[in-house]
Structures are given as structure tokens and as C-alpha cells.
Chain A
Amino acid sequence: MTKLTFIAHDGTHFDVDAENGSTVMENAIRNAVPGIEAECGGACACATCHVYVDEAWTAEVGEPEAMEEDMLDFAYDVQPNSRLSCQIKVRDALDGLVVRVPARQG
């Protein structure tokens, strides 16, 4: 199991065990992390699972692909470390990953 930490906008930490191959978004929904809506269900077709990747992890997580960048246009307060959590797949190298939930989704 890979450990993930979600930090909700009010500062609450959610430490969860994630299965490799699942998406970061799926783990947020499964653990009822507030502020992740995932309206489209993970099809990269909305921008309501937007997260900020902790600065220490941006290199390992990597850059969004073109389609995700397009969707990020619809997100709120997009930063250089913004990602859509449905497009980040959990793997061993992400053990300990920290992501922050923005103030609002779109």
C-alpha cells in the first residue's frame, strides 16, 4: 500500500492507504476528502478534482499532459503545481505524496 496525504482547505489532514494503479482522485472520493467533487467520474472531462501537488513532490508526480492542461483552464486559481487528481496514478514512487485541496472547485 502507498500512503497519500490530502490536506483539505481548512487544514485537516487525511492520511490514506492507496492501491497502486488507482488514481489519486479515486482515493479522495473513497475516503470522503472534502473539496474533491470529480463531477465527470474521472474522464478528464471536467476540472472538479483539482489539487495542488506539494512542492517536494512536483518533480516525481510530473507535468500534466495536453488534454489535462486544457481541462485545467476551467479550474479555480490554477498554479504551476496544479494537477487534476484523476490523472495521477498511484505507484510506489509516490509513497508519502502530499496534495492540497483548493478553496473551491471551479
Chain B
Amino acid sequence: MTDTIKTDVLIVGAGPVGLFAVFELGLFDMKCHLIDILDRPGGQCAELYPEKPIYDIPGWPSISAQGLVDKLLEQIAPFKPEFTYNRMVSSLEKLDDGGFRVITDENEVFEAKVVVIAAGGGSFQPKRPPIPGIEAYEGKSVFYSVRRMEDFRGHDIVIVGGGDSALDWTLNLQQVAKSVTLVHRRPEFRAAPDSVNKMYAMQERKELAFQVGQVTGLTGADGLLSSATIKGPDGDVEVACTRMLPFFGLTMKLGPIADWGLNLHENLIPVDTEKFQTSVPGIFAVGDINWYPGKLKLILSGFHEVALMAQAAKRIISPGERIVFQYTTSSTSLQKKLGVHD
């Protein structure tokens, strides 16, 4: 097990609201560490619609989602937040001293005085394709990612999808597999044209197979796959296989947060509207993941929520200390923290 990472505030989720929380907490001298399941900051803004304009950020008549993320990163840079990417928070426990211990799916251990859940719609996870009975094969012969290519050596593999993941793994696993069949519902791909050309060239040389269609059924026993039924333009085709890799993009799921002992309201976390605190003191929830009467899932609402949350977090981290309300425009002490006052 690695060394415990200690921080004032652990923020779960590095979307726009999690990022702005760093700013508001930073003004009160609280140090933040953010964890996100994606490999970069921005959450849905970066993953779902980076190039789409957003029109309701105050002061920005129009800003692209990625542009907003970039500006937020610039804005919080003076507070030197730490980031851990590609990780899901798997467990959370309360410590005797009032803080929290948080463990990721790769067993990193964090200890924080305050936890802020800014997890939006939940964590991005591979989408399960709509194939009846697929659950029974997951983890045994159906996988949503390749951790070790060796695990696929000598297998008859069906890869489903038309994006870069599907094409890249088709080309790579072909070298170790007994056979590879790529299945996609149409002959056009989202993947890089170069990979697509390589795939077609290998199909010409009969080094792999490409089947147009949608997987509609699986055959096998005890989680071990023996064949897949593919509904193609000329009817059903049966393809023998012992491994399947579906690449159907990402979806958002609440995930392990559901098991942290917090009260939930239809997969959202109820909070009060003074502190944005959950049913567990010291754990706050901000942005799309929280719920209160009148809640709107807007980025601007999340920005408001983190400002109020920061006041409450400060009272936990520095009990008894008087909180002075100040403006960044006129306060020399805030300006020093922002690095704009000499």
C-alpha cells in the first residue's frame, strides 16, 4: 500500500464545479486534492461536449466547454491544487479525529478533514451494450478494457464498435489472438482513417474478419462464451468466439458513492442550502450530484454552491476562527493569495 496522501479538502470530481471549489476554498487557505475517473480535468465539459458553446456563464456571452475548463484551471492555478486522474473513489470511512479516509480503486489512500463530492452525473464507466444476458459473461469472457494483452492470447475474439478503442485493439490483438472479428453496425467508422485503412488491408489479407451488424445474442455456459449472434444486412450470422470486447463509449453511474452511508434522493445527494452539506457532517455535495428543493443542474448554480460550502468547510477546518467576508476586488490579503498583489 502506498503512503497516505493528506490534504485539507478532498474533492471527488474535477468538473467545472469541482475546479471552482478549489478557488473558493483556496481563498480561505484550504488546500485541495481532486480525484477524477477521467484522464484530464473538465468532467462532462471535457468528455461530452468540449467544442460546444455554453451561453449561460455570467460574463461570457459564449464560451466553449473546453474553453471554460481552461479558464477555470488558470483561475485556480495560484492555489496549486493536486490532481489524481484515472481513479474512482471506492470507499470512504470516518476517522476518530473527525476527518475522513478515502481509498481509490487502485488502493491509494487519502486523508482529508473535509470531503466535497462534485461528481456530476457520477463516474464515467464503459457502457454495457444492449445484448440480452451479457452480464453473465462480464469479467470472465466479456471485457470492457484490455489490461494485459496476454489475457487474450490464443483466443477467438469479437470486438464490437467503430471508434478508436475498437479499431486500435482490433489491430493490436490480432497479433496475439487466434482470430479477431470486428463487428460494427455500418461500414463507416469514427476511428482514425489510418487505423480503418489498416483494418481493411488486413481483412483483404484474411488476417482478420470484419462483419457489418449488431450483436443480438451470446451463447456459452458458466460465463464462458462460445459464440455471438450478429444481425447483419443479410440476416443472422453466428461467429465462434471465446472473448468479446464491446466498446460502446461511456455512461455516467453513481458508482460506489451509493455505499458511503449518505442519504440519497433518486441517485442524488440531498443537501441543505446554507452549507451544501450532506447527511454526514464534513461531507459536502455540490453541482449536478446534489439535490435540494428548486435545484437546477446548471454550472452557475454549482459555482454559487461552492462559495457557500467553502464558508462551512472553513468552520470545520479552523474551528473558532473568525471568518472575515472579503472581496477579491479590494482585499489585499485575498489578492496576495491570488498572486496579484506585491
In the complex, A77 has a CB within 8 A of chain B: yes
A104 to B131, CA, bound (A): 12
A40 to B252, CA, bound (A): 10
**Candidates A39, A73, A77; contact of B162 at CB < 8 Å:** A73
In the complex, A17 has a CB within 8 A of chain B: no
Q: A69-B188, A74-B127, A78-B214 are in contact. Are A106 and B48 (CB under 8 A)?
A: no
Contact B48 A74 (CB under 8 A): no
In the complex, B43 has a CB within 8 A of chain A: no
Which residues in A have their C-beta under 8 angstroms from that of B178?
Answer: none
In the complex, B184 has a CB within 8 A of chain A: yes
Which residues in B have their C-beta under 8 angstroms from that of A78?
Answer: 185, 214
Q: A74-B127, A106-B130 are in contact. Are A39 and B188 (CB under 8 A)?
A: no
Which residues in B have their C-beta under 8 angstroms from that of A72?
Answer: 185
Q: A40-B48, A43-B48, A69-B186 are in contact. Are A77 and B214 (CB under 8 A)?
A: yes
Chain A 27-39 per-residue mask, 1 if CB under 8 angstroms from chain B, else 0: 0000000000001
Greatest chain B CB density within 10 A among A39, A46, A73 is at A73
In the complex, A45 has a CB within 8 A of chain B: yes
Which residues in B have their C-beta under 8 angstroms from that of A106?
Answer: 127, 130, 248, 251
User: What is the count of residue pairs linking A and B with beta-carbon distances less than 8 angstroms?
Assistant: 42
The chain B residue with its CB closest to the CB of A76 is B130
The chain B residue with its CB closest to the CB of A102 is B130
Name the prevailing secondary structure of the B interface residues.
loop
Contact B130 A77 (CB under 8 A): yes
Q: A40-B49, A46-B48 are in contact. Are A74 and B214 (CB under 8 A)?
A: no
Size range of the chain B interface in the assembly: 20 to 34
The chain B residue with its CB closest to the CB of A43 is B49
**Candidates B49, B121, B190, B252; contact of A73 at CB < 8 Å:** B190
- In whole Å, how far is B269's beta carbon from the nearest beta carbon of chain A? 19
Contact B52 A43 (CB under 8 A): yes
A78 to B233, CA, bound (A): 12
In the complex, A70 has a CB within 8 A of chain B: yes
The chain A residue with its CB closest to the CB of B249 is A74
The chain B residue with its CB closest to the CB of A72 is B185
Chain A 53-71 per-residue mask, 1 if CB under 8 angstroms from chain B, else 0: 0000000000000100110
Chain A 13-55 per-residue mask, 1 if CB under 8 angstroms from chain B, else 0: 0000000000000000000000000011001011000000000
A87 to B228, CA, bound (A): 32
The chain A residue with its CB closest to the CB of B216 is A77
